[in-house]
């Protein structure tokens, strides 16, 4: 049949008369289509064999024309394949493969190095950063001042003695100012004066007040000595001669140099001081406590 169709395709389409038969053959719809192969539309010849004088009709068979889509259509599956698929079975493709074999895609693994790193310092902070305020260092703890002590001495040797407590008593004390800077102070002390050999000789009462600073210093004082001959009063003043740091935990000392004299209209007994020089000294603890003092009389010749 194909050879005949090919022959017909190469032969021009002309009307053919059959002598003696009176029939006409009309070839219609003879089509040659080439699309990846050859498809020939075969002519179906319908001949009316009746004795009427009508020409036989040639009816063209339907021609299958491929579409322009080159994608091959999915082949029809057999009933057996459908039945096996419904049962969960696999069936073999006649061409050697599996018709219902699933294609499994490999999981996509992201490369961590491809992920851009985020600099935490680049992100704005939710709260404004504030620098901590500098904290003041606590001031060092000042230990308590040493026990107060005081001495009152004379360069004279007395022929008298007293049965009295040789340890002086601090009756009052005051201090104002900064240690090592301008200060004012005052003290009142009682006890027993020691003569040149260190014996308690005459009970005393001493009042002194002074000041010191960068411009110098001054000390005034008044005291009394009680003897068998009576009570004797003295007064005097002194100037700041030296100030500096003591060896005791940053304390400061002040030294004064001055003079003393017996008050007028007094008749001294033997050994009683009359006039001379005074060397006075105080020491002040860093907290302002006057913890040390001395008062020494040197009789003039």
| pLDDT score of 207 more than 50 | yes
Mean pLDDT of the chain: 72
| pLDDT score of 18 more than 60 | no
Q: What is the reported pLDDT for 215?
A: 87
pLDDT digits (tens, 9 = 90+) for 49-64: 444 454 544 444 444 4
Domain boundaries, the chain: 2-60, 149-299
Q: Is the CB of residue 264 less than 8 Å from the CB of residue 120?
A: no
Q: What is the reported pLDDT for 238?
A: 98
Phi and psi, residue 4, nearest 5°: -65, -40
pLDDT digits (tens, 9 = 90+) for 148-182: 999 999 999 888 888 888 899 999 999 999 887 89
Q: What is the reported pLDDT for 294?
A: 97
**Could you tell me the end-to-end alpha-carbon distance of the chain, in angstroms, rounded to an integer?**
173
User: What is the dihedral angle through the alpha carbons of 253, 280, 188, 173, rounded to the nearest 10 degrees?
Assistant: -10
Span of 93-107, 116-130, 192-206 with lowest mean pLDDT: 93-107
Give the DSSP H or E segment for 296: strand 290-299
Mean pLDDT is highest, among 25-29, 80-84, 278-282, for 278-282
Q: What is the reported pLDDT for 225?
A: 94
pLDDT digits (tens, 9 = 90+) for 221-239: 999 999 988 999 999 999 9
Mean pLDDT for 271-293 is 94
pLDDT band at 84 (very low <50, low <70, confident <90, very high): low
Q: What is the reported pLDDT for 81?
A: 57
| pLDDT score of 98 more than 60 | no
How many helical (H) and strand (E) elements, i.e. helices and strands, does the chain have?
2, 15
Q: Is the CB of residue 175 less than 8 Å from the CB of residue 288?
A: yes
Q: What is the reported pLDDT for 59?
A: 45
Q: Which long-range contacts (CB under 8 A, 24 or more apart) does 124-130 make?
A: none
Mean pLDDT for 184-209 is 94
């Amino acid at each position: 049949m194909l050879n005949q169709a090919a022959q017909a395709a190469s032969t021009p389409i002309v009307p053919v008369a059959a002598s003696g038969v009176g029939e006409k053959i009309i070839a219609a719809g003879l089509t040659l289509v080439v699309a990846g192969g050859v498809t020939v539309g075969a002519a179906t010849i319908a001949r009316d064999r009746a004795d009427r004088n009508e020409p036989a009709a040639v009816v063209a068979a339907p021609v299958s024309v491929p579409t322009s889509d080159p994608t091959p259509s999915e082949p029809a599956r057999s009933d057996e394949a459908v039945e096996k698929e419904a049962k969960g079975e696999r069936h073999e493709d006649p061409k050697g493969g599996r018709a219902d074999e699933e294609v499994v895609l490999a999981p996509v693994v992201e490369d961590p190095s491809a992920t851009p790193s985020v600099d935490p310092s680049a992100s704005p902070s939710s709260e404004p950063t504030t620098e901590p305020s500098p904290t003041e260092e606590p001031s060092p703890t000042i230990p308590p001042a040493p026990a107060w002590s005081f001495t009152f001495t004379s360069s004279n040797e007395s022929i008298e003695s007293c049965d009295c407590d040789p340890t002086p008593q601090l009756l009052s004390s005051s201090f104002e100012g900064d240690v090592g800077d301008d200060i004012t102070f005052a003290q009142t002390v009682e006890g027993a004066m020691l003569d040149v050999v260190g014996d308690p000789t005459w009970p005393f009462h001493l009042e002194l007040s002074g000041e010191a600073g960068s411009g110098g210093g001054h000390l005034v004082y008044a005291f009394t000595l009680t003897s068998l001959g009576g009570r004797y009063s003295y007064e005097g003043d002194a100037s700041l001669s030296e100030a500096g740091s003591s060896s005791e935990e940053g304390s400061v000392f002040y030294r004064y140099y001055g003079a003393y004299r017996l008050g007028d209209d007094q008749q001294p007994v033997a050994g009683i001081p009359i006039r001379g020089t005074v060397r006075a000294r105080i020491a002040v603890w860093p907290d302002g406590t006057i913890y040390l003092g001395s008062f020494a009389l040197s009789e003039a010749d």
